[in-house]
């Protein structure tokens, strides 16, 4: 049976969680939404519990501090009221200016395919200026040209886990920072154990400095389908010269990435201190792992380690490595349309296994590049300027 939830009944308890009488009255009037208190991790939360059913919302679900919004799995559906939803966000925190803390959104499904009301800071699920945010076991489906989840500014101590996000119109998750104040950094963000599918355009997972400081980010053990998007996972400091953001101390590890029109995993736009390790990347249209400025007049990626990854069925270069202080080591690369590893300046390529690439290693850089102890099968080393200094101890063999 479908349950019809109107803002007058529901949003009062979320915003007015400090008034128990109003909470009780709202719950009694609705009879479907249970409102209670619960202690988790030493914090007393107001809990808004949706049972199984389809709930139509006509205004933004605005969540205050010390609040849990939860359902009973994918059988609990939150859907915007058809042709009558009035909000610039579908789900958001209540106080962008002063900030919120201790918010949990979990165990429910959101279906969204319509336009939001025009207004400031639009988003489907959008959080800004939040400390201690947990998004767990959320299923999102539908179609929008906006990222389904937007961690838009100053999000600290965030965990997003066990979610299944599928947006047939655009990206799934963006972590960024539109607040340039040094005290408003976004940090300590873990994105782990999720499934992301983007139907077109933007990346399933984007980690972006933009205007402010973003650091301490871990993207791990996710399944990412970027077959119809630009990249599967992208980490970049800025994407135009006028941006002022920074991105550093990022780990991209243990993910399975399929597809990507430009690449499977990208590190670009001045991102620094990035580790890309133990990922499986396949079936990309162009590069498997792409290290680049990202555009004219943009800074290079720096202090990037690419290690222990498996790349196969790559449309162009297995790893396109340019930047500053780049290490490519211990990767397994096979079946590439062009080179297994493209080597620019300031790149070390050490102890990789490469097969069926043309060539196995393509060296264009002339400054501070090392190509050492790699094993190539049915693939050669091609040095464009014929300067073989720093290219030693590699094994090249042909197998019929």
- Supply the pLDDT for residue 42: 97
The span from the CA of 130 to the CA of 243, in Å, is 23
- The answer for 345, left when phi > 0, alpha when psi is -120 to 50, beta otherwise, is beta
Q: State the pLDDT confidence band at 17, using cuts at 50, 70 and 90.
A: very low
**Pairing status of strand 34-40 against strand 43-49:** antiparallel
- How confident is the model at residue 118, as a pLDDT? 76
Quote the mean pLDDT of the chain. 92
| Other beta carbons less than 10 A from residue 357's beta carbon | 26
Indicate whether 21 pLDDT > 80: no
Q: 318 — phi, psi (to 5°)?
A: -60, -55
User: Using an 8 Å Cβ cutoff, are 308 and 277 in contact?
Assistant: yes
| pLDDT, average across residues 217-222 | 98
Asked if omega into 318 is within 30° of 0 (cis), the reply is: no
What are the backbone dihedrals phi and psi of residue 265, each rounded to the nearest 5 degrees, phi first? -130, 135
pTM of the model: 0.93
* DSSP β-bridge partners for residue 362: 342, 382
Q: What is the pLDDT of residue 395?
A: 98
For the chain, the domains span: 1-124
CB of 231 within 8 A of CB of 199?
no
Looking at residue 15, its pLDDT comes to 32
Q: The tokens of 227 are what?
A: 């077959």
> What is the average per-residue pLDDT within 177-197?
97
Which residues, in sequence order, are bridge partners of residue 94?
none
């Amino acid at each position: 049976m479908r349950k019809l939830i109107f803002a007058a009944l529901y949003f009062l308890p979320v915003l007015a969680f400090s008034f128990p009488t109003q909470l009780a009255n709202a719950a009694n009037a609705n009879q479907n939404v249970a409102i209670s208190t619960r202690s988790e991790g030493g914090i007393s939360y107001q809990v808004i519990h949706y049972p199984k059913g389809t709930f139509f919302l006509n205004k933004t679900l605005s969540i205050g501090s010390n609040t849990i919004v939860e359902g009973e799995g994918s059988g609990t559906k939150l859907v915007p009221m058809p042709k009558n939803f009035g909000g610039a966000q579908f789900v958001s925190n209540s106080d962008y200016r002063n900030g919120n803390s201790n918010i949990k959104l979990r165990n429910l499904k959101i279906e969204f395919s319509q336009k939001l009301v025009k207004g400031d800071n639009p988003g489907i699920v959008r959080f800004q200026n939040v400390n201690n945010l947990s998004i767990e076991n959320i299923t999102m489906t539908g179609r929008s040209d906006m990222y389904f989840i937007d961690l838009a500014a100053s999000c600290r101590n965030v965990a997003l886990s066990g979610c299944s996000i599928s947006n047939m119109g655009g990206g799934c998750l963006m972590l960024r920072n539109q607040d340039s104040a040094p005290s408003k950094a976004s940090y300590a963000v873990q994105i782990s154990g999720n499934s992301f599918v983007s139907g077109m355009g933007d990346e399933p997972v984007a980690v972006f400095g933009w205007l402010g400081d973003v650091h301490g980010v871990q993207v791990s053990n996710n399944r990412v389908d970027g077959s119809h998007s630009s990249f599967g996972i992208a980490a970049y400091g800025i994407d135009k010269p006028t941006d002022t953001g920074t991105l550093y101390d990022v780990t991209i590890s243990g993910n399975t990435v399929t597809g990507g029109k430009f690449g499977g995993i990208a590190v670009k736009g001045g991102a620094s201190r990035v580790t890309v390790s133990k990922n499986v990347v396949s079936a990309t249209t162009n590069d498997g792992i792409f290290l680049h400025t990202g555009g004219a007049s943009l800074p290079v990626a720096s202090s990037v380690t690419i290690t222990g990854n498996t790349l196969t069925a790559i449309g162009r270069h297995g790893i396109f490595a340019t930047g500053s202080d780049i290490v490519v080591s211990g990767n397994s690369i096979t079946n590439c349309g062009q080179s297994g590893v493209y080597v620019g300046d300031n790149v070390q390529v050490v102890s990789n296994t490469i097969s069926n690439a043309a060539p196995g290693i393509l060296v264009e850089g002339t400054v501070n590049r090392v190509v050492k102890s790699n094993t190539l099968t049915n693939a050669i080393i091609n040095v464009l300027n014929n300067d073989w200094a720093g290219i030693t101890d590699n094994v090249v063999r042909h197998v019929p």
